[in-house]
Amino acid sequence: MRSTTSLDTYLNDWKSWLIHEKKVSPNTFEAYERDVEAFLLFSGHHLGKTLTVSDLENMRAADFRAFLADRKKEGLTATSLARMLSSIRSFFKKLEKDEVLHNPHLKSLRAPKRPERLPRPLTEKDSRNLLSELDKGQGWMDARDLAVVTLLYGAGLRISEALDLNYGNRPAGDSMTIIGKGKKERLVPVLPVISEAIDRYLKLCPHPMDAETPLFLGKQGKRLSPRQIQLTIQNLRRQLGLPESATPHALRHSFATHLLGAGGDLRTIQELLGHASLSTTQRYTDLDTEKLLNVYKSAHPKS
């Protein structure tokens, strides 16, 4: 026998579940709550009645699409529409988890395709200014941050790859082995400036280290959080007047873009970045039109 519990009760249960079990952030909670309430309001008007659990269970894919189409007409972007669909799915997931209903049609919907956003590189001048400003610090944590940022920009590492390093596999010599996405190994050259920055940090670091100790440590001697480097870059870009796009990941993009702009081979850069396909590297590195035209004019037989 179907439950006669009101939809409002199930809605409140879902909200409590988001807060106490899923522990979503306040911003995420507000967005999910707003999205689902908008969906329920629209669906009630769409069906011309007060919604019940039975109505939700009997909804077809076309009913969900009608809501998304209405939101799209209101000017919402693909990113916002995808989030709305995620919010609705979360609500239905809770209802299915509690064996209130089962609706297979929602799972068949594809999220609106989000426009691909390429990370924007820093200019060579901005990259140098960033490193120079970090180099002014005197404490061991200042030296640590400089070492991390030098590694991201000088070797093109992802921030997770840099912070996953242990003392035992720290950069030493002319190259190092990095284990990237999908446990794929790649060999990365180590510039002298990288070794120097890391050596300086290690001399100042007050925490003892052995082979299994994280290379980059936080104040309490535990593995450094990516958030700390993000905050460091955030503060620096405000001091230097850099754009909001200046992030730790932008340093990896800058590494690739500056190499390519200086005449680096695309396939070599692909190997350095650890990309599985060349097409990923091509999207990741964007030479401006002027540079492309200069390459064309210098290389084409008819130029």
Could you give the residue numbers annotated as active site?
158, 181, 249, 252, 275, 284
Residues 6+ apart with CB under 8 A from 286: 118, 257
Place of tokens 């400089």: 146
Measured CA to CA, the distance from residue 122 to residue 261 in angstroms comes to 13
Residues 6+ apart with CB under 8 A from 171: 151, 155, 165, 190, 194, 195, 198
> Which helix (DSSP H) or strand (DSSP E) does residue 283 occupy?
helix 278-284
Structure tokens at 146: 């400089």
Structure tokens at 287: 């030479």
> Which helix (DSSP H) or strand (DSSP E) does residue 178 occupy?
strand 175-179
